[in-house]
Structure 1
Amino acid sequence: MCRVQYFLYQAAWGISAGSPSRLQISRAKAKAGEAYQRICIDGVAVHGAIGFTIDHDVGLYYRRIRAMEFAAIEKA
């Protein structure tokens, strides 16, 4: 998480300084996406079977990240 925060701060600093770098912004978005994926998978692991049910929000986030993975594969 510290790495994601560093990249986000670096991109935000570049934007506020008036010289936003596409590389910094893209790197921050990529790292945030990776962190979101890791957090969702860990959340399901922590919650066990309840993480897969529609009664719990962790399952919703897990299904969203899996759908986003398949959408990214289709576009590539």
Structure 2
Amino acid sequence: MKFFGITLLLLIPLVVLSLGMDILMGFDLDNSIKHDFNPFLVKDPAEFILFIILVSFLVFSFFYRKKKKKNKGK
């Protein structure tokens, strides 16, 4: 529960900061909210490919560690 509270305490000011920066750049509030809550709309294709590679690396490393710990227990 503590992690959830800390996450919310960090999320709220960061979203407000991001909304403020979008508004200062000239976007209206509707577009700013759309950019904040759907970040994949503003990604370039290269950024999206890098994101997919990093997420797949994270998933594979999780399964590799789990398999490694399982083999150590035997």
Q: Normalising by the residue count of structure 1, what TM-score does the alignment of the two structures yield?
A: 0.39
Query: Highest Rg: 1 or 2?
Result: 2
Bigger RCO (CA 8 Å, 6+ sep): 1
